[in-house]
Structure 1
Amino acid sequence: MTAAHAPVDTGRWFEDFAVGERFTSAPRSVTADDLAAFTRLSGDDHPLHVGPDAMLQGPFGIAVAMGLLQSLGFHGEAVQGLLDTHWTYRAPIRVGDVVHLELTVLRVRRTRSGTRGTVTRHMRLVGDDGVTRQEGTTTALVAARGSGPDDDGRAFGSLGWGRAVAAALDPEVATLLETWDGTIGLRCDDDEVHLRVYRGAVIDVSRRAPHGATFTLVADALTWLELVEAPDNPFLRLAMTGRLSATGDGYEYLRLTRALHLVVDAARAIA
């Protein structure tokens, strides 16, 4: 779902966000007044920020990104605060640039109280030349209208998601693992779930197996989203380019490549 160059609505509650939603802000021009004002505000008058080819201070980009986020209409009465920001500077921002924000919802998780939840967004500040200037993730705490239940289909790395993946596995997995005894871990950022396998069957799904995972498939939320949304299963391509990695027994990980491909197929099916 995409809304371009217009506010999405007048405010969203926790239940209104869905993993995989994408939004694009209106463009914003960077002016000489922006540079002068941010220099006064920050006190950062380094020579890099002076002259005809001056670069805007790095934090200017995230400030603009937050403003463009506000323009999308997310920050209504339900938003209770910003919990974290992880940000990377990719290319300079200069006077005369025109930038816009591209936002993807990566994670939607209810807190234990059930009355609110966390919403993590990937944010990319992009120039009109198509070059990413800055990008990163931010997580907001958002009040909920009700107490759930919530859909597990894209709650990557959660216990409910792991159970749904196990239930959706192709019968071929049982054949591939009929002589295997071990635990497959699936991790998304800080969330991890373990599938305990015995003679081809998943006999338990837990946050942690008693003896740990034999190996764990690791990816960030943006990669898991690509895994479930790509037209064809991109497991091997993402593994070969390093966006998917593994911890633990590397031999067993490589030996079970076909089975893992089918695990990803199950994740794609429930998404």
Structure 2
Amino acid sequence: MGGKYFNEWSVGETFRTPSRTITETDVVMFAAMSGDYNEIHTSEQFCKDSVFGKRIVHGLLGLSISHGLLFRSGYLEGTAIAFLGIESWSFKAPVFFGDSVSVTVKVLDKKESISKPDRGIVKLFLQIMNQDDQIVQEGVKVVMIRNHGI
């Protein structure tokens, strides 16, 4: 499946990505990559007395996985030029080891480039949902996308 070009995106349209289960390996690798070995992520014993009662996934790992799931949808395959930024992001609830998450995406806005007509900017509102359809994270990401035929 090829990605959607800028002119094919519509403000207000929504879609949901495939899901993905977050594993212990994901958390261990993220801790190693980021250097964040906080016990809330790495020590079951420490977490027994925490507000969560068990280990939680790094918030930034959840954010990263949301980006991967967005690309896994196929809508940006071969058409995304650049990830421009995050305008806002909120952590609503913990993500636990073994949770399966997917992302609901809504197109908030789109704007053609004035200086480069071969591209445009799409603003997306993402909500990471766990297996119980609870919103665990949400926010706005901005992506530059190719315009078809230009």
TM-score calculated relative to the size of structure 1: 0.49
Identical pairs, percent: 27
Distance in 1 of aligned mates of 2:57 and 2:77: 30
Distance (Å, rounded) in 1 between the aligned partners of 2:79 and 2:19: 26
Equivalent residue for 2:47? none
Aligned match of 2:11: 19
Q: Per chain length, whose mean CA-contact separation is higher, i.e. which structure has more relative contact order (CA < 8 Å, sep 6+)?
A: 2
What SS does the corresponding residue of 1:122 show, helix, strand or coil? strand
> What corresponds to 2:138 in structure 1?
135
Matched-pair contact (CA < 8 Å) for 2:124–2:140: yes
Which residue of 2 is the match for residue 110 of structure 1? 112
Give the alignment of 1:1-271 within 5 angstroms: 9-52=1-44, 53-85=54-86, 86-113=88-115, 114-145=117-148
Give the secondary structure class of the aligned counterpart of 2:124: strand
Q: 2:71·2:77 contact (CA, 8 Å) conserved in 1?
A: no
Q: Which runs of 5+ in 1 are unaligned?
A: 1-8, 148-271
Answer yes or no: is the 8 Å Cα contact 2:2–2:78 preserved in 1. no
Q: How many residues align?
A: 139
Whole-Å Cα distance in 2 between the matches of residues 57 and 137 of structure 1? 19
Q: Which structure features the higher share of helix residues? A: 1
User: Taking structure 1 as reference, are residues 115 and 101 closer, same or farther at Cα in structure 2, changes over 3 Å only?
Assistant: same
Q: Give the TM-score normalised by structure 2.
A: 0.86
Per-residue deviation at 1:84? 1.2
